[in-house]
Every structure is written in C-alpha cells, then in structure tokens.
Amino acid sequence: MNDLSHTSALTPLAREVERRRTFAIISHPDAGKTTLTEKLLLFGGAIQLAGQVKAKAEKRNTRSDWMSIERERGISVVTSVMTFEYEGLVFNLLDTPGHEDFSEDTYRTLTAVDSAVMVIDAAKGIEARTRKLFEVCRLRDIPIVTFINKMDREGRDPFELLDEIEKTLALSTVPMTWPLGRGRDFAGTYDLTASHVRLLDKDTAPIPVEAGDAAALARAVPSIDAEAASEEIALVQEACGEFDLAAFREGHMTPVFFGSAIKNFGVGDLLKGLGDYAPQPRDQAAATRMVEATEDNLSAFVFKIQANMDPNHRDRIAFVRLCSGKLTRGMKVKQVRTGKSMSLNAPQFFFAQDRALAEEAYAGDVVGIPNHGALRIGDTLTEREEIAFLGVPSFAPEILRRVRLPDAMKAKKLKDALQDLAEEGVVQVFRPRDGSPALVGVVGALQLDVLQGRLAAEYGLEIRFEPSEFALARWISAPTKAELDSFVTSHNFSIADDLDGDPVFMAKSAFDLRYQGERSPSIVFADIKDVKKAK
C-alpha cells in the first residue's frame, strides 16, 4: 500500500513517526462503529475472532455498577485505545464514547487524534450525533475519511448521500469507490482510482475494468445492469472533482468509501485510504511554540484518566498522547504542572483484548501510564522543557448539584472520592470559599448517574443530589491580580475553587451573571478553561 521506500533517507525517529496513523471513529449510535472496529482490528491481526470487541466490553461491564449503567443504556462510556499494525503502518484507534452527554470526554479524545473516520448508515445519512462530532472535528481541523456502511441493505441513493454530506457539513466529497448494485443486489464496488472491481462474498483478487467499458463490467459483475452502472461511474467521475490531498488535510474534503462492515467488505479499502491519505502525527500547539512530531525530545499530554479499570486493583491509568520524540520504558520525565519528575516504569499499550508493557513508543502513540493521582487531564510531560500543550479544555458545567451524604461519618471519604473522580474528569468539583459543602458540575445529566453509581460501587458511598442555589459556573480572571482579588473579596459567597484552585464565580442565573458582568467590566467570565497561551 504505502510507498515507504523513500523513508530510508529519514532518521529512525522520523521513520517511526511517518508510519503512524492515530485516528478515531465518529458516528451516530448503531451506524456500525463497533462492527467496523472489529473488522479493522481483524485486518491488523490484533484479534482472531470478530465479536471479541463486544465480548470484551460485556465482560468488563459485569465488573461494577458503573459499568452496568453503561450496559443498561446501551452506550459505551469508556474510552479506550487500540493499536494494530497493517502493511508496515501502525494504527492507533481511539474509541470515542458513544453518548452525547459525554461531549466533554469526546472532545478530549478528539484532541488526541490526527484524523477521523466518519461512519454513516447508508439508510439514514447524516444523523444528529455524527453532525455534532463532525463539528468538533472541524473546530480542530481534523481530516475526515468517510465510510458509508450497510451497503448490503436497502439504503438511500449514493448521490443523495454525497449531496447531504456536502450540504449539511459543508464538506466536499470525492468517492474513492462506487457501489455496484443496491440493497439485496449489492454486488461489490468499483475502485475509481485503481479502476478495478471488488466483489462482495468472493474472496478473489480485484478484477481490472476500465471505466466506461460496460462489457468488461458485465463480465466481472453479471448480476447488475452493467450499462447503467457504467453510465453512473462516468457521471461520478465527471461530477465529483479530483481528490485534493491538501484540501482533505485542511478538513475541507473527504474521500468516501462504500462498504458493509458486517460483511467485512470495503474495510480493506478504507484502511488503505487511511494509510495513504490520513496524516502522520501532526505538530502540536503548546502555549509558547509549535512542537514538531519528529523532534528528538519526548513530549506528551494527558487526555484521559481512567480510574478503577479493575476495581480489585484500584489502578488508575492516564492515557497519554505522545506529541514528539521517543518514549523508552524506565525513562524519567518532567510533569510540567508540578515541576516534579516521574519515572515511566510501566507504560502500557492497549490491544483489543490485552495490555502489554510499552518498551518504546513514538509520537502519535497513546500509552497508558499507571499512577496514583499524580497525573491530571491536560498535564504535559516533557524530558525537561517547560512547555504546556493547549487544547484539552474544561467546559463550564450546565448542571450544578450539591452532594448530600446521609452518613456524616463518611465526609472525608466523600471528599477524597470526589477528588479522584474530578481528576478523572467524571465530574467537576467546586469548593465554595465560604466553607459550604462542595458542588459538583456536569455537562450532561447522565454523568450524575455515573457519579452516583461509581461512588456506591467503588467507594461504598450512598449519596443523593440536591438542587443548588447556583445555576452557572464561570472561570474568572482580570488584567491585574488586585482587580481579581477585589472582586473575589466582595463576592466571597459566590466564589468557589476548582480542582486546580482556580477561582470560579457561581451565578444564580443568567441574569445574575450578566448583571455582575456589567458591574465589573474588568472581570472576564469564561465558560471554557484551557492552558493559557503566552502573550
């Protein structure tokens, strides 16, 4: 597939970086993400049997109540990463959580990828969730490869689907393959770049057919109306522009593949497309400079924390995306937020069914680092340099609640548990300066159920939520410390500290927030918190 022959001129590090593709799959529930993931992993030889991904998920689900929330609602709350190799390339597939309540978590996962595969159900077209995830990708200029799935079933007209992508997402489409036959008569695809036919249900080599040669097409696929299909292919070639790699990389154009994940059809073409077009690990913006993936020194950021993956061991894994350089097991890195040094003694790679110690990893890879709370979401790790990566933000919660604990003896335990879960990004915790009980904030209501379930299952804490007098939380800043201090002092009953000790203004209503804003024009009320960019 990929021509890597020129890579001999590259440094060993650059060669490793060049062969990496780190991507996520975005889709609406039921479009076929899980099925496609299984098939992709099969290609990489990462799993032996299709069905393993689901089986694994089900096994995990039995482990705690938190997981049963996930099961009951038929969603996947856990983000995981799966690494597989195919034809000389290393693919890191990051799974995005399936429920829209978890937009914050999803957003963070998408900060760690260089491209995305958008899976569309051929019968349904662009659905709400796909659109939302697409918007996040667009914010970050993530290039998108499109896979139109379930071609083995009755679906919508392919031209209509392309038109819908173009209109609703403002994204140019360039089909790479074209379906031959529809629904029950779907017989395979015509590869528009390689000029060959690939047949469904037949494990044969592709059959070369020149575009426009209806007779050859009829010989290759006797079951379809070859004359009509040939005309359609001519129309596709005429109507759809040339594929422009630069436009794709900038997020304006998407190559489109048609297939059927369940029949393992079109998945190889998709994987080849990812290998050929999807970018290698991109340069990443830090507060003070751009960091190139091929720089010698290691840099990385934490985009996800998962605690208690196995409650028996109370382990806590920080998922770290490497941005530059090489990680070698046992090396020492600096945690920029605290200035502390830590040894990476047990970094882990994740496969479909397994984890393994990562002896070495390169920019683009995602490794899990077991730790006891030292690492937080958004943390940067470097060999020495004082840099902080941008773009792993916190969003102002839309729902605020007080946590009511009937058993007052367990207050300390609750405080620690909330701290754990806030560091993991399950909820945000705000500690009011006036000493009243902590408030928890979430972006979606489902997170409250997850919090309640996990507090019970993992910490033995039965809690209830009570409404809070506050409706909104905003991070506050001001041009000078004196101005900020003065605001904080005069609004002490409405100020809380977030996890990092940054001040947050708690407003009773949107009106209250607007009123305070007008009265204190020098104060900035922010609904997103990110690492600050150097001026």
Annotated binding-site ranges for GTP: 27-34, 95-99, 149-152
Q: Which stretch binds ligand G4P (CB under 6 A): 31-39, 171-179, 201-209, 210-218?
A: 31-39
Among 21, 22, 34, 448, binds ligand G4P (CB under 6 A): 34
Q: Which stretch binds ligand G4P (CB under 6 A): 30-38, 126-134, 172-180, 292-300?
A: 30-38
304: contact with ligand G4P by CB under 6 A: no
32: contact with ligand G4P by CB under 6 A: yes
Least CB distance from residue 127 to ligand G4P, whole Å?
10
Question: Closest by alpha carbon to 474, among 421, 381, 414, 395?
Answer: 395
153: contact with ligand G4P by CB under 6 A: yes
Q: Which is nearer to ligand G4P, 153 or 252 (CB)?
A: 153
Residue 61, amino acid: N
Question: Closest by alpha carbon to 408, among 434, 437, 430, 381?
Answer: 437
Write down the residue that tokens 């000389």 correspond to.
88
Count the residues of the shown chain that bind ligand G4P, applying the rule CB under 6 A: 15
DSSP state of 6: G
Least CB distance from residue 25 to ligand G4P, whole Å?
8
Q: What are phi and psi of 84, to 5 degrees?
A: -150, 155
Q: Which is nearer to ligand G4P, 34 or 520 (CB)?
A: 34
29: contact with ligand G4P by CB under 6 A: yes
CB 136 within 8 A of CB 110: yes
96: contact with ligand G4P by CB under 6 A: no
106: contact with ligand G4P by CB under 6 A: no
Q: Which is nearer to ligand G4P, 29 or 311 (CB)?
A: 29
198 CB-contact burial (10 Å; exposed 0-12 / middle 13-18 / buried 19+): buried
Write down the residue that tokens 């489109």 correspond to.
256
258 to 45, 146, 179, 289, 416: CA distances (angstroms):
23, 8, 6, 40, 50
Q: Which stretch binds ligand G4P (CB under 6 A): 23-31, 298-306, 342-350, 482-490?
A: 23-31
Q: Which is nearer to ligand G4P, 124 or 508 (CB)?
A: 124
Q: Which is nearer to ligand G4P, 30 or 385 (CB)?
A: 30
262: contact with ligand G4P by CB under 6 A: yes
261: contact with ligand G4P by CB under 6 A: yes
Least CB distance from residue 195 to ligand G4P, whole Å?
25
Q: Which is nearer to ligand G4P, 148 or 381 (CB)?
A: 148
Centre a 10 Å sphere on the Cβ of residue 127 and count the other Cβ atoms it contains: 15
Among 16, 104, 152, 420, binds ligand G4P (CB under 6 A): 152
Counting every residue written for the chain, the total comes to 535
Give the C-alpha separation, 310 to 372, whole Å: 14
Give the C-alpha separation, 185 to 180, whole Å: 8
Least CB distance from residue 98 to ligand G4P, whole Å?
6
Nearest 5 degrees, angle CA 181-CA 185-CA 186? 55
Least CB distance from residue 112 to ligand G4P, whole Å?
20
Q: Which is nearer to ligand G4P, 82 or 457 (CB)?
A: 82
324: contact with ligand G4P by CB under 6 A: no
Centre a 10 Å sphere on the Cβ of residue 163 and count the other Cβ atoms it contains: 13
Q: For residues 116, 119, 125 and 129, what is the CA-based torsion angle, rounded to 10 degrees?
A: -70
The sign of the dihedral angle between the CA atoms of 171, 177, 182, 183 is: negative
Question: Closest by alpha carbon to 209, among 235, 222, 201?
Answer: 222
Residue 220, amino acid: A
Give the C-alpha separation, 223 to 201, whole Å: 13
Q: Which stretch binds ligand G4P (CB under 6 A): 2-10, 146-154, 213-221, 292-300?
A: 146-154
Q: Which stretch binds ligand G4P (CB under 6 A): 259-267, 325-333, 405-413, 442-450?
A: 259-267
Q: Which is nearer to ligand G4P, 43 or 430 (CB)?
A: 43
Among 17, 31, 217, 429, binds ligand G4P (CB under 6 A): 31
Binding region: 27-34, 95-99, 149-152
Least CB distance from residue 111 to ligand G4P, whole Å?
22
Question: Closest by alpha carbon to 371, among 446, 439, 337, 320?
Answer: 320
12 to 89, 201, 322: CA distances (angstroms):
14, 41, 16
Q: Which stretch binds ligand G4P (CB under 6 A): 133-141, 176-184, 257-265, 336-344?
A: 257-265
Token digits of residue 225: 């109306």
Q: Which is nearer to ligand G4P, 152 or 269 (CB)?
A: 152
Three-class SS state of 324: strand
Among 16, 17, 26, 27, binds ligand G4P (CB under 6 A): 27
Question: Closest by alpha carbon to 344, among 323, 328, 355?
Answer: 328
Least CB distance from residue 265 to ligand G4P, whole Å?
8
Q: Which is nearer to ligand G4P, 44 or 397 (CB)?
A: 44
30: contact with ligand G4P by CB under 6 A: yes
Write down the residue that tokens 């609904």 correspond to.
527
489 to 306, 485, 494, 520, 530: CA distances (angstroms):
37, 6, 10, 13, 25
Give the C-alpha separation, 21 to 276, whole Å: 10
Among 21, 99, 108, 150, binds ligand G4P (CB under 6 A): 150
Q: Which is nearer to ligand G4P, 261 or 472 (CB)?
A: 261
Q: Please, which residues have CB within 8 angstroms of residue 490's CB and are 6 or more apart in sequence?
A: none
Among 33, 334, 431, 454, binds ligand G4P (CB under 6 A): 33
- Which residues contribute to the site for ligand G4P (CB under 6 A)? 27, 29-35, 149-150, 152-153, 260-262
